[in-house]
Chains A and B, each alone.
Chain A
Amino acid sequence: MSWFEILRFALRGLAANKLRSFLTTLGILIGVGAVILLVAFGEGASQSIQQSIQRLGSNTLTISASFSGGGFGGGGGGGGGQAGGPRTQARQLTLEDARALADREQAPSVRSVSPVVTASSATAVHEGASHTISQLVGTYPSYFEATNKPVTSGAYFVNDDVLAARKVMVIGRTVAEELFGAADPVGRRVSVSGVPFTVVGVLKELGSSGMQDADDVAIVPLPAVQQSLTGFGALGSIIVQATGAGTTESAQAEVTAVLNQRHDITPTGTADYRILNQATLQETVSSTIGVFTALLGAVAAISLLVGGIGITNIMLVTVTERTREIGIRKAIGAPRSAILGQFLLEATVLSLVGGLSGVAIAFVGTRFTIAGIEPVIVPSSIALALGVSVGIGLFFGSYPANRAAKLRPIQALRHE
């Protein structure tokens, strides 16, 4: 008796109850498909977030003012500095801070320092076309390199532009399209809140990441935006680029030392600024997403398990229902192995067909972008989901099949 023959019996057994076989297969299909799809979405989300972090440049530190901590503690009382350590009022970040950080002696691991002020929602107008730029950034030319923003047409502004406070601007793709459409914006004039700027360059398209459109920006020399829009107050942030990926940590230590000195922060006191390290951020985010993906996978795995229980249930019903048939087969000389093989194959075919269609569905499903996330199939999830589904079929199918194969013919024949 060949295996091919037994397979034929198994297929015939399944065909005898098409609807039931189909529904059981569907259970496994959904389980396997869900595992692969959800893991693919988790992976896609993870990759897109990592990419947008990497776009910021991996060896940069972003310093911003922090107003949390006990800075306002001693305001009302008579004598200053009783509790919480000697702590003067929190200071803003200034251009002087930025200059101090650029000191080669004190901060040798720092490659460039870009002071940044940001005006949000500045309205730009060009020949009747109007667009509210979500981020208008005033900074130094080093900003382009530190934050990894190349231009596709035109050029960056240069240090001279900063010194002369020239009204020049580099705009993002969204701004260019909103104001100029298909025309080349380089050399054209744009008026921002009534102040005329000349466009010198257009940034390479970054694509949107999550909620924010990274291309809805305009970058101008620091004094130009201070003069016309924000005033010469505090800086919004300072972006420090380390000399290399390996020196980010030491750059952070140097920056901390310089700023602590300038802001009179004692080693035990609370700093009035924050340093955001891209590398650390990346690690945190990717581990968070890892947990998220694992959770999705776990939810999907449960549905796979439910599908497996469906197979077990169906095999139990099938075997019970066909006990008489098993008796007949044994009476005409079917060996135990043939009976066992037939039912095991039935279970395996169900789970394998379900599993493979689940993979196919998942492949189709991952061609769609949902909520801005492009799913990325993780090959190991396919192997795992298929393996588990076939394993479930074999494992749970073997119990009822074995029970049936062991019956004496007359016991099986008398079964009602």
Chain B
Amino acid sequence: MTTPVLSVQELSKVYGEGDAQVRALRGVSLTVERGDYVAIMGASGSGKSTLMNILGCLDVPSSGRYLIDGADVGALEERQLAVLRNRKIGFVFQSFNLIPRMSALANVELPMAYGGVGAAERRARALAALEQVGLSDRVRHEPNELSGGQQQRVAVARALVTAPSLLLADEPTGNLDTASTGDVLEILDRLSASGRTIVIITHEDDVAAHAKRVIRLVDGQIVEDRRQAPVDGPPPRMPEVPA
């Protein structure tokens, strides 16, 4: 059996001190195999984002172990963490988080700039990623000239342009209308079909229906872990590919 892409054991996160203390995660253990497409569901305040931020190495847990591709994240230095965020993780936020006053192309190139990719290759790969999300005609536009759905597609392109082991998305469709939601989910389905490992947060059943596996969180604990499709198969709602 190959090493899982990510593996967390007894993860807990406590915010604040004393009376104001909030236990956002209470002992979460989870393993995600390569190629899986996992949806994490739960009510608002159940700790989904907290878990996702730790998985994306944006925050540190109060206790517990976290391995990415078998490497212990807790033991890494700041510099190695930066490399890890850059190479192994692609993160898509609910609020897009594109850098303002930078074109879509420049935004997508940015992770490769920090990763030390040469200018020519960077441009080619960024254009390819934008093409993949269907935005070839919007590469020069700045975020404030794009619709929400287009911005989120740019964010997806930025997350996958470094070919990360893990694509994390925290309610990527939360701020989008139905049509844009469809666009983004279709892109994720295609990425999953091509073997990319994806973890997505959502509180919509429609969105979760696209995943191969659904995990439900309540008050910082996993209460349900249901598989909807095999890890190595296509995602369940994958649109029929014309033969």
The chain A residues found within 8 Å of chain B, CB to CB, are 1-2, 5, 12, 16, 324-325, 327-336, 338, 408-410, 413
Contacts and interface: CB of A to CB of B under 8 A. Distances in A.
B157 to A, nearest CB: 12
A338 B58 contact: no
B198 to A, nearest CB: 17
B97 A334 contact: no
Nearest to A325: B99
A332 B102 CA distance: 15
A336 B79 contact: yes
A16 B100 CA distance: 9
A181 B113 CA distance: 76
Interface string B56-98: 1111100000000000000000110011111100010100011
Contacts of B93: 413
Contact of B102 (A12, A334, A336, A338): A12
B58 A409 contact: yes
Given A12-B102, A333-B85, A335-B82, A410 B111 contact: no
Nearest to A334: B114
B59 A332 contact: no
Given A16-B101, A328-B99, A333 B82 contact: yes
A327 B85 CA distance: 12
B110 interface: yes
Given A1-B115, A333-B87, 7 more contacts: A328-B98, A329-B110, A329-B114, A330-B82, A331-B97, A332-B85, A408-B58
Given A328-B99, A331-B85, A408 B59 contact: yes
B58 A335 contact: no
Instruction: Label chain A's interface by main secondary structure.
Output: helix
11 contacts: A329-B99, A330-B85, A331-B85, A332-B85, A332-B86, A333-B111, A333-B114, A334-B86, A335-B79, A409-B59, A413-B58
A334 B82 contact: yes
A332 B116 contact: no
Contacts of A1: 113-116
Nearest to A335: B82
Interface of B: 53, 56-60, 78-79, 82-87, 91, 93, 97-102, 110-111, 113-116, 158, 162
Please give me the 9 A-B residue pairs with the lowest Cβ-Cβ distance, nearest first: A333-B86, A335-B82, A409-B58, A333-B85, A410-B59, A410-B58, A332-B111, A334-B114, A328-B97
Given A1-B113, A1-B114, A332 B58 contact: no
B60 A413 contact: no
Contacts of A16: 101
Contacts of B111: 332-333
Contacts of A413: 58, 93, 97
B82 A336 contact: yes
Contacts of B101: 16
Contacts of A5: 113
Residue in B56, B79, B101, B116 with the greatest tally of chain A CB atoms within 10 Å: B101
A332 B114 contact: yes
Contact of A333 (B53, B83, B97, B99): B83
B58 A331 contact: yes
A327 B97 CA distance: 9
B36 to A, nearest CB: 23
Contacts of A331: 56, 58, 85, 91, 97
A335 B114 contact: yes
Contacts of A332: 85-86, 91, 110-111, 114, 158
A81 B113 CA distance: 98
Nearest to B80: A335
A220 to B, nearest CB: 81
Nearest to B91: A331
A336 B78 contact: yes
Contacts of B116: 1-2
B93 to A, nearest CB: 8
Contacts of B99: 325, 328-329
A213 to B, nearest CB: 63
A328 B234 CA distance: 32
Contacts of A330: 58, 82, 85
Residue in A1, A328, A413 with the greatest tally of chain B CB atoms within 10 Å: A328
A2 B113 CA distance: 9
A371 B184 CA distance: 73
A333 B111 CA distance: 7
Contacts of A409: 57-59, 85
A409 B110 CA distance: 16
Contact of B115 (A12, A327, A333): A333
B159 to A, nearest CB: 8
Nearest to A337: B79
A338 B82 CA distance: 11
Residue in A328, A332, A334, A335 with the greatest tally of chain B CB atoms within 10 Å: A332
Contacts of B57: 409
B114 A338 contact: yes
A87 B62 CA distance: 99
Contacts of B83: 333, 335
A329 B98 CA distance: 10
Contacts of B114: 1, 329, 332-335, 338
Contacts of B53: 410
Contacts of A2: 116
Contacts of A325: 99-100
A211 to B, nearest CB: 59
A332 B161 CA distance: 11
A233 B233 CA distance: 127
A1 to B, nearest CB: 6
A324 B95 CA distance: 12
A409 B52 CA distance: 13
